[in-house]
Every structure is written in structure tokens, then in C-alpha cells.
């Protein structure tokens, strides 16, 4: 391009000079346009799934409900383990799967999103071309019309494309007097750029995004990631690094954090929020026992949690523990007997009961 510009400077005249100018400008526009479309489309998709997918319509509690519902419907023990042991990863992966399915299912929404964005940006570029030409064509007072034209053009597209005016210095001294020819020349030079992008979008993959749409969605649900040191439930505060204590609305049976009664094979079905009003103690380190009633004395992380006494347990976990008792016994190398006997009332909780109760929250 540098060589052709050099040749242009000495040899080209009129129309061919305009073509060279337009080709050069479009070679700068093409990568900037492609980048801008993926960036904007990622935001468009994130916004759209927030409106269209019920899981994402509310706050983190709503999403939590849909994740638990999904787990119950799939009824796969390994999925539950993933959710319980790596809640942050599970959340991100859940969002990723939902967003990608939405974009890539038979409706081929990804292509539509990209094409719509391309159409809007194409119109913006065309308008910028016409606007710049209109401003410049009658400026008989100016000799550096092309420089002026580029100023106008970059300014008009400033909100849409990252097209630094300084990158176009090499062509600003072109001796183009008939600025009006630029409208046609630009239309011709842009056409293959747009065609190439359209073709690319037909086979677009999520991996084409630098900033992934699901990451943008996940950022909106990023809250505190701290886990209850007893049961592993995630702090429900919506602010990461929030002030004050961590807390959750509902704690869970401690077996979900892998706990057994000391020196027995009895799994612990009690929840932390009951334990804190009991006379039991828990062990930290090798042999240090702390009464549950003074759990904060155990130091970090216990001291950063506010766990008020509350015996209520969600039906969901009663259903889960009784439905997956064998798998839980194997996983945590213990038994639901002795102090870990599952109450008969838990065994009558159905999945429907459990989900119906969750929905109320």
C-alpha cells in the first residue's frame, strides 16, 4: 500500500487516485469494523438473554432457583457435586451453556445478531461518507480537502469505530479535487468488506468473540463468593468484598460439606443454623474444640460469618439427601445411621414439593 501510494502521488490522476484512497481507507476500516461488531454484539446478546431467558431476568436468587430446578430435573449426582463443590465454576458454566445454546440453536441467533449489527454499522459508515462529503465539497477556501474530509469522517464514526485519525496521515495529502466522486468510490471499496463479513458471520462461532457474551452476563451476577465454613452455601450478598458479615438465607445439612460425627461413620444431617444454638462443638486443626454457640472464636473464616439460630431447612435438601443417600454415603465414606439417621419426614418430600417451596423464594 505504501508503494502504491507513492506511485499514486507521482502518477495517478483523478478517478484512479480516488480509488486508491478509498481502498486504503477501507483496508483500515475492515479490521476496526469487525472488532466493533463483535464487541457490540456481545453486549447485545447479553442484554437480550437478560430479557428473554427467565433464568437471567431477576437477581442472583432467581438464577439460583433456576439452577437448583435444573439440577433436580436432570437428577444427576455428579452435577450436584459440581454445584456443591465448585459453585462459582458451576454458575459460570451454567450461564455459558444457556447463552451459547440461545445463540447457536436452530434459530441461529448468533448470525442474526452479527448481521443486524453489521447492517447498523454499515449504515453509519455510509452516512459518515455522505456527511463528510457534504461538509467538504463546497469549502472552496480549503486546499486540503482530503484532510478535512478525513477529520469529518473520523469524527462522525467516533462512537462506532476505533479509527484513529493519526493512522490515516499517509493519505491525507492526496490531491483529490473532485470530492464528490468519493461517495461512489467508497461504496465500491466497502462492498467487498461487507460481503466478507457477511460470509464470515454465516459460520461464526462463540470463539470468535474476544469478550464473551456469557462473561458479560456472569459479571452482572457476580456477588460475594464466600462459602459457609460448615455447609458450603454461598454468601448471598450481591457485592463482592462487601462490608459486614457474610450470611445466607438458608444453610444446608453439613454432610454436603462432607462432615461426619467425630470418631464415627455417622454423616451429619444437621444444619449449621441449628448447630449454633446446640451444645455441640466442632473441631478445628488437630484437636481444638470450639462450642458452636461461640463459633466466631474459631477465627477466620468462622469469625466473618453471621449465622443466627434458625432450624428451618429447605425441603429441597431434605429431598436431595434422601434421594441420593447411597451416593452420598459412598462419596463421604460414612452412613446415614446413628446420629445421622435421615428423619422419616424427609423421605416423604417429593421433588415437586421441594421445587414448589423454592419457587416461593
Shortest reach from residue 147's CB to Zn ion, in Å: 57
Closer of 197 and 307 to Zn ion (Cβ): 307
Shortest reach from residue 228's CB to Zn ion, in Å: 3
Shortest reach from residue 237's CB to Zn ion, in Å: 4
Shortest reach from residue 243's CB to Zn ion, in Å: 10
Bridge partners (DSSP) of residue 291 are: 281
Closer of 45 and 228 to Zn ion (Cβ): 228
Cα separation, 275 vs 261, in Å, equals 13
Compute the CA torsion angle 320, 323, 326, 331 (nearest 10 deg).
Answer: -20
Shortest reach from residue 226's CB to Zn ion, in Å: 4
What binding mask, one character per residue, do residues 242-281 give for Zn ion by CB under 5 A, x or -? Answer: ----x----x--------------------x---------
Angstrom distances, CA of residue 95 to CA of 41, 62, 229: 17, 13, 26
Closer of 28 and 296 to Zn ion (Cβ): 296
Phi and psi dihedrals of 227, rounded to 5? -110, 140
Number of H helices, E strands in the chain: 14, 2
Question: Residues, the chain, total?
Answer: 361
Shortest reach from residue 235's CB to Zn ion, in Å: 3
Beta strands in 9-94 (DSSP E): none
CB 196 within 8 A of CB 114: no
Candidate list 230, 282, 336, 346; residue touching Zn ion; CB under 5 A: 230
Cα separation, 271 vs 280, in Å, equals 12
Give the range of 53-61, 187-195, 216-224, 346-354 binding Zn ion by CB under 5 A.
216-224
Give the range of 131-139, 189-197, 237-245, 294-302 binding Zn ion by CB under 5 A.
237-245
Closer of 163 and 255 to Zn ion (Cβ): 255
Closest listed residue to residue 25, CA positions, set 139, 177, 187, 137: 187
Closer of 214 and 251 to Zn ion (Cβ): 251
Closer of 235 and 267 to Zn ion (Cβ): 235
Output b/e per residue, 240-277; b: 16+ Cβ within 10 A.
Answer: eeeeeebbbebbbbbbbbbbbbeeeebbbbbbbbbbbe
Q: How far apart are the first and last CA of the chain?
A: 64
Candidate list 8, 186, 227, 235; residue touching Zn ion; CB under 5 A: 235
Closer of 68 and 235 to Zn ion (Cβ): 235
224 part of the interface to Zn ion, by CB under 5 A: yes
CB 229 within 8 A of CB 235: no
Closer of 146 and 248 to Zn ion (Cβ): 248
# binding residues, Zn ion (CB under 5 A):
10
Helix axis angle for 181-202 and 14-52, nearest 10°, is: 40
Shortest reach from residue 335's CB to Zn ion, in Å: 22
The torsion region of residue 222 among left (phi > 0), alpha (psi -120 to 50) and beta comes to: beta
Shortest reach from residue 224's CB to Zn ion, in Å: 3
In order, the DSSP letters of 303-323 are GGB---------HHHHHHHHH
Candidate list 231, 255, 267, 269; residue touching Zn ion; CB under 5 A: 231
Shortest reach from residue 292's CB to Zn ion, in Å: 11
Residue numbers of the site for Zn ion (CB under 5 A)?
Answer: 224, 226, 228, 230-231, 235, 237, 246, 251, 272
Amino acid at each position: 500500500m505504501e508503494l502504491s501510494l507513492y506511485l499514486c502521488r507521482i502518477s495517478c490522476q483523478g478517478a484512479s487516485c480516488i480509488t486508491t484512497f478509498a481502498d486504503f481507507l477501507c483496508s483500515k476500516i475492515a479490521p476496526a469494523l469487525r472488532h466493533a461488531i463483535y464487541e457490540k454484539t456481545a453486549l447485545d446478546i447479553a442484554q437480550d438473554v437478560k430479557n428473554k431467558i427467565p433464568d437471567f431476568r431477576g437477581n442472583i436468587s432467581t438464577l439460583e432457583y433456576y439452577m437448583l430446578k435444573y439440577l433436580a430435573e436432570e437428577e444427576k449426582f455428579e452435577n450436584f457435586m459440581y454445584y456443591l463443590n465448585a459453585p462459582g465454576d458451576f454458575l459460570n458454566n451454567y450461564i455459558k451453556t444457556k447463552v451459547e445454546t440461545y445463540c447457536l440453536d436452530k434459530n441461529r441467533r448468533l448470525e442474526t445478531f452479527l448481521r443486524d449489527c453489521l447492517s447498523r454499522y454499515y449504515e453509519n459508515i455510509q452516512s459518515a461518507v455522505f456527511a463528510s462529503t457534504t461538509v467538504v465539497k463546497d469549502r472552496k477556501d480549503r486546499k486540503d480537502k482530503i484532510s478535512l474530509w478525513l477529520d469529518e469522517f473520523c469524527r462522525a464514526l467516533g462512537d462506532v469505530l476505533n479509527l484513529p485519525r493519526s493512522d490515516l496521515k499517509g493519505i491525507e495529502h492526496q490531491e483529490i479535487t473532485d470530492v464528490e466522486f468519493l461517495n461512489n468510490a467508497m461504496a465500491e471499496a466497502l462492498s467487498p468488506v461487507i460481503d466478507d463479513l457477511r460470509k464470515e458471520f454465516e459460520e461464526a462461532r462463540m470463539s470468535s468473540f474476544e469478550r464473551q457474551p456469557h462473561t458479560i452476563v456472569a459479571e452482572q451476577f457476580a456477588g460475594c463468593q464466600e462459602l459457609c465454613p460448615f455447609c458450603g452455601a454461598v454468601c448471598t450478598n450481591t457485592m463482592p468484598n462487601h462490608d459486614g458479615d457474610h450470611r445466607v438465607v438458608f444453610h444446608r445439612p453439613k454432610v454436603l460439606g462432607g462432615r461426619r460425627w467425630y470418631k464415627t461413620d455417622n454423616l451429619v444431617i444437621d444444619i449449621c443454623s441449628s448447630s449454633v444454638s446446640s451444645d455441640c462443638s466442632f473441631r478445628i486443626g488437630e484437636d481444638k474444640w470450639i462450642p458452636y454457640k461461640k463459633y466466631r472464636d474459631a477465627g477466620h473464616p468462622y469469625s466473618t460469618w453471621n449465622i443466627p439460630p434458625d432450624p428451618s431447612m429447605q425441603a429441597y435438601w431434605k429431598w436431595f439427601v434422601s434421594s441420593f443417600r447411597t451416593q452420598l454415603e459412598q462419596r463421604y465414606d460414612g452412613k446415614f445411621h446413628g446420629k445421622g439417621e435421615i428423619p422419616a419426614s424427609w423421605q416423604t418430600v417429593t421433588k415437586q414439593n421441594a421445587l414448589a417451596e423454592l419457587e416461593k423464594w
